[in-house]
Amino acid sequence: MQNYSGSLALVICHGAADEKTLNIGVISGIDPPGRRAKIAFGDLSVSNFPLSDILVLKDKNTLYQQLLTSCSTLQTRDFKTLLQVNMLQDRPGQEAQLKAMELLRDSPLAAERATVDLGSSLGLSIQAYKGAEGRGR
């Protein structure tokens, strides 16, 4: 299992009138049994979110294969964004990852294709999410 503490992530924040926004934060702690994680934001606030609302980048090889197989179905803007994100994944350091997250934050359709929720990345099933939500966690 990959250690995600200290990694950048996109967080789905639910607003008024069912609006969803993507915010960039840093994973500061994960509670797999509780299906939640703590995220620290640039304004130094820390909040708990369900693992299903925390998005991490897919592996660069997986994203590249996805680009090759679905390029004909993508809008040009989203394809370019995904290609840039994939190229940024080859660069070392957090600066490139932050730039990739900023690109995805501004393009929700590209973010949907380039990321996976943290629970799935940790190998937790969707059925486990539903079971935890039903127990009031």
**Residue 39, domain member (yes or no):** yes
The CA radius of gyration of the chain, in Å to the nearest whole number, is 15
List the beta bridge partners of residue 20.
14
Rounded CA-CA distance 18/75 in Å is 25
The dihedral built from the CA positions of residue 52, 75, 85 and 102, taken in this order, carries a sign that is negative
Residue 78: domain span = 8-134
User: Contact, 19 vs 110, CB < 8 A?
Assistant: no
Rounded to two decimals, the pTM is 0.83
Number of domains in the chain: 1
Q: What does the pLDDT look like over 103-117, one tens digit per residue? A: 999 999 999 999 999
Q: Quick check: is 110 in a domain? A: yes
Tens of pLDDT, residue by residue over 4-57, are 889 999 999 887 777 788 999 999 999 878 889 999 999 999 999 999 999 999
Q: How far apart are CA 31 and CA 38, in angstroms?
A: 8
The answer to the question of residue 1 being in a domain is: no
Q: What is the pLDDT of residue 49?
A: 94
Quote the pLDDT of residue 128: 46
